Structure 1
Amino acid sequence: MSNKKTLFIGGIKSGKSLNAQNYILQNYILQNYILQNSFGKPLYLATTEFIDDEMQQRVDEHKEQRREQFDTVEEALKLYKIISTCKSAVLVECVSMWINNMLYHGFGFTEMKKELEAVLSLETTVVFVLNDVGCGIIPDNALAREFVDISGKLSQLIASGCDEVYHTVAGISTRIK
């Protein structure tokens, strides 16, 4: 899994996050065991910034799923800054929330693309989680359309830069690249 990039993409509550967590744990721990590296736990890069009661429940569920298997860093905007200094594998959960945060803070597609290109160029193992929002209807408002368009373009960028891509439906992740 050395310096490998992987994407798990699927609908909301499809099981992609749990499958991505299991994937990175199985592959990263096996690699470290074989190579006798001492990088420690993989890093869980949590991007959720906006918390209401319902989002807090989702965050709590994800924390319970990962328990003590990951070191966690919460960063809503600066993915490259965190990942570039990390010696262990990184799980980015999730790119969709990161896009949301970037839009909220006034960043556009160009800045997001540059940030992700920089992350993809790193010699670091990264597993990305991303909601597939392109299978629905065209939203009725400009901000939602912008989010869907940016998400679609960035999913293509990430997928093209990844060694493996998994599509998740009903808890089953199927390798598509």
Structure 2
Amino acid sequence: MKILYFGGQKSGKSSLAEKKALALTKNKPFYVATYNNSYDDKEMHKRVDKHKKSREDSFITIEEQRDLTKVLKPNQTYLVDCISMWIFNNLDEEEQYLKTQLEELEKIDCNIVFVLNEVTSGVIPFDKDSRKFVDLTGIIGQKLAKICDEVYEVKFGLESRLK
């Protein structure tokens, strides 16, 4: 089963995705953390620490910032949090590179719960990298929605099933 949770910043999508991943397996699921923790961003370090504390011993954490196909294996359950950071980490890659990774993930017989930030509803950004990020988020979001069995939009901690 492939499932997508998307929503705005602090919408509650990660908490709902964690609950879904736990419900999909009797074993301990894997939490694929995509944040590149090498930046000296103290506020983001606090966010990462909060996520770690919220999942405590419920998940086995795997850190992979760029190539998700390296870490996902058959017959397991994964929570990939978050696809937005994965896109950001691969901003220097071509669109097809990211799509190909998703196509490979679709073929793996495993449960994957994806988390994606919704950033495509605003104005077109002025700078090139921000535009590329927003564009890729929309393109990758469409690809994920297509390959996923279930898609949930999250607002204020409430999920709405779209698919």
TM-score band w.r.t. shorter chain: over 0.9
The residue correspondences of 1:62-81 to structure 2 (distance < 5 A) are 62-81=51-70
The answer to whether the 8 A contact 2:32-2:61 is kept is yes
Q: Does 1:44 align with 2:41?
A: no
Matched residue, 1:114? 100
Name the CA distance, whole Å, in 2 between partners of 1:116 and 1:65: 27
- Greater helix percent: which structure? 1
- Cα root mean square deviation, aligned: 1.1
> TM-score, normalised to structure 2's length?
0.95
Q: Does 1:137 align with 2:134?
A: no
The answer to whether the 8 A contact 1:7-1:130 is kept is yes
Question: Unaligned regions of 5+ residues in structure 1, if any?
Answer: 33-39
Instruction: Summarize deviations over 1:73-109 as a string: whole Å, max 9, x none.
Output: 00101101101x3542000000000000011xx2121
Matched residue, 1:19? 16
Name the CA distance, whole Å, in 2 between partners of 1:174 and 1:168: 6
The residue correspondences of 1:1-177 to structure 2 (distance < 5 A) are 4-28=1-25, 32=26, 40-50=27-37, 51=39, 52-83=41-72, 85=73, 87-103=75-91, 106-177=92-163
> TM-score, normalised to structure 1's length?
0.88
The answer to whether the 8 A contact 1:45-1:92 is kept is yes
Quote the sequence identity (%): 42
Structure 1 moving runs of 4+ over 2 Å: none
Name the CA distance, whole Å, in 1 between partners of 2:112 and 2:4: 9
